[in-house]
A and B are shown apart, each in its own frame.
Chain A
Amino acid sequence: MIEIKGDNKDLIINAVSKSYKRGTVRANCDISVALHPGQIVAIIGHNGAGKSTLLNQIIGIVKPDQGQIDYNGISFIDNTKYARSLVSMMPQLYAPLAGVTLRQSIESILHIRGISGKKNKELCKEILDELKIEKWADRPGEKLSGGLQRLASFAMAVVYPSPILLLDEPTNDVDPVRRKLIWNYMRKLARNGHILVVVTHNLLEVEQYADRFLLLNHGKLIQDELTVGEHKQISSNTLFVVMNDWDALSNLPESLETRYIEEEMQVIFNLSAEQVPDAIAWVLKQIHERKVVNYRLTSATLEASYGGLTDGNE
């Protein structure tokens, strides 16, 4: 038996790389990162960036060509049984639910994790209540909507509180109310000392709920930033402007950075707080001259910086 307290049990990923087809297809490359208990870490990046591969490497389904993944001083790569005993994973595709009700699926996972009897029923009811999916509990999996199947997969992954939880796109297809419930549940798990790693494409949710994000691009980790606290490194203001006439761009306001997306007729300004009034005045003037279709000023800038950090190609 291993007892893990919620302190100083980092998951250390060191120089992990993986390629397929004799090295011609690179899944990920030289990824090093330490994942801490109590932290929700979002992994973002384009399709095929190596996000899911990293999760599969942690739980031991995919063997890295090189590098190490250690927890509590023990290698997950050399001891996959140990990894599986400490990690729960929600797969990218739905968990297998055909012919099985939501309740049966959750109870079965608890049985497989060694929890039976009254405790099994209690934990199952608890997660169904937490995610507000009790009324669908006895419906066969194939008759559930995509969002409910996703919630069922999430419930199956988190109902047994493993120290490390890997969640691949948990909020896809889920309604806005239950998306929030999912993130709130993850927050509770993090507060209780779990390591949470979430693959997602929803950058607004990352900014709103995650503590930290890892940005992957073509298998490489190109950014590892906090989204909260004094070390937050995302710039604070972004102005999106959709132009009516691309050739009319002139006398642009001062900004930290300006990006032009001609095919979308869009200009994105990263602004300091002091630069915002001038930028707004410029936009209003352009609107008055009918050179701007619309604009949006936001403090949520991960979405804006994302395009600049990755080339977006798959």
Chain B
Amino acid sequence: MPLLSVRNLDVCYGVISALQEVSLEINRGEIVTLIGSNGAGKTTLLRTISALVRPRRGAIFFNDVEITRLAPHEIVRRGVCHVPEGRQIFANLTVHENLLLGGYQERDANRIRASLDRCFSLFPVLAERREQRAGTLSGGEQQMLAIGRALMSKPQLLLLDEPSLGLAPLIVRKIFQIIREINAEGTTVFLVEQNAHMALTVAHRAYVLQTGRVIKSDVASNLLQDPEVKKAYLGG
């Protein structure tokens, strides 16, 4: 039984079709990546899973329960947490408040403290910046905050939208290292990336999205060798 199953999803923005008959599955414990060029519909897929966008057709199942018609906060409660593109941290709130918001649904003070501690051990820099306004952090620190904030709700499935966007190569490597660690600790990861090489290196399996359709899916290491993928997404 897959953890997340997307079945024949169609999404439109007005008359413009963004996703067509997209189906994919993510198994517990995996890192699955979705690669594709700008405008292929990667972000739309994540936003549909999180219920920020309503599909026209198709269904989404999580743990074999349909979640297609739920509100965004109910999706979070079921254990799916989305780190949106561009991080979307609460810039005028402190780092600490941002993290507390990540654990908004948890009311037990002890568990909140445990999540905070775990987050600070993953990202020691956030502990140093705890009382600072989140808007004053560097890009890399903001990305760490966004991931740490998502982990506060102890999700079963973490949706990551372009975590490497606008970051220096060294920071990107560090972020991917952390994604591996998070996965090793038992969180399933669905990673959307334009940095296809990095994404395929870290992922177990991958889907390729082109103008709203899944055109390929395979084990990540196979796709790294695939001539078409190499040509289109890996720079030759």
A binds B: no
The interface of chain B, by Cβ under 8 A from chain A, is none
